[in-house]
Amino acid sequence: MGRRTRTILLTLALYATLLFTTSNAQAKTPLFVFGDSLYDGGMTLYNGIEGAGAEFWPYGDTYFKRPAGRYSDGRVIPDFLAQYVGLPFLRPYLQPGLEDFTQGINFASASACVLVETRPGTTIYSQGGRKFAFQNVGPIGCMPSMKSMLHYDGSCLEEPLELARMYNAEFATLANRLQYRLPGFKYTIYDFHTSLHIRVLNGNRFGFKESETACCGSGPFNGGFTCQKEGHSFSICSNPADYLWFDAGHTTDRANEQFASEFWLGGPNVVAPYNLQSFLAMS
């Protein structure tokens, strides 16, 4: 991962998943992404799991004009972050013939587990990673799938929201504690929970005509994941850019661009103590 004095590591936690980057003085910052379906950059096309979902239309149709293994109508957050750093879209780790990791790689995969033995944090730190950027757990009580499953007809279920808030508060405390326990450890956290929540409640402020019902799916709020399953019936909106949610649990290309932009350039009310642009520039 490069000389320890030159290493910059960004670890981004989203729904308990990770992203990290390393940097050196001779090259653009490569990105190494760990995550679940929210960050999956195409692993689903190569993991051998039948019916994973994002290999079917209408996934990818807005931006790629074809299914691209991403659980969105277009790009996911790491795609935008790679562009901001000046890199091409990251290739999925299981892509055949992949040997060059110098520009980074995307390890994120749908349904990635978060068991202690599978988390990369300790290994990354031991290899020289020192800077970690986390994205906290989103407002799971606002997901169309959650509301549909629990037969809720409002904007967001409070109990799942509170559980996510509690987790995020404890996680922030832990990250701060690690700053003093691990030599050289630095971190920043993007408040994805608040950013997505306010868009659900006030979608029009951010350009979304529909912020509670998904563009693609079935049942209440289009909260059924039927658009991921070949041969199942589902409804699909005519313009995903009008929607916050693309399917029952994943946001649209337009929403992901807004989240990535906040993470990259946002103020301390949304990403603290540093946004990613400032974080990467730090010595």
135 forms bridges with which residues in the sheet? 190
Catalytic residue among 40, 61, 79, 247: 247
Share of the chain above pLDDT 90, in %: 56
Query: Choosing from 37, 195, 211, 218, which is the catalytic residue?
Result: 37
The candidate with the shortest Cα–Cα distance to 76, out of 226, 255, 208, 247, is: 255
Of the candidates 23, 193, 250, 253, the residue annotated as catalytic is 250
Whole-number average pLDDT of the chain: 84
Contact criterion met (CB below 8 Å) for 19 and 34: yes
Residue with tokens 């049942």: 219
Position with higher pLDDT, 31 vs 275 = 275
* Sequence-ordered list of residues with C-beta below 8 angstroms from that of 169, at least 6 positions apart, any chain: none
Instruction: Convert the pLDDT of each residue in 128-166 to its tens digit.
Output: 667 788 889 999 999 999 999 999 999 999 999 999 999
Identify whether 100 is a catalytic site residue. no
Tell me, yes or no, if the pTM score tops 0.75: yes
Q: Can you read off the two tokens belonging to residue 23?
A: 């940097």
Q: Is 37 a catalytic residue?
A: yes
The predicted pLDDT at position 112 comes to 72
Question: What angle, 0 to 180 degrees and rounded to 10, lies between the N-to-C axes of helices 253-265 and 77-85?
Answer: 50
Per-residue pLDDT of 175-222, as tens digits, reads 999 999 989 888 889 999 999 999 999 999 999 999 999 999 999 999
Confidence label for 85 from pLDDT (cuts 50, 70 and 90)? confident
Sign (positive or negative) of CA dihedral 68, 29, 120, 259 = negative
Q: Which residue has the higher pLDDT, 253 or 115?
A: 253
Question: What pLDDT is stored for residue 217 in this prediction?
Answer: 96
Q: Are 241 and 252 in contact (CB under 8 A)?
A: yes
Compute the average pLDDT of residues 54-74.
Answer: 94
Specify the pLDDT at position 107.
Answer: 84
Domain map (residue ranges) of the chain:
4-281
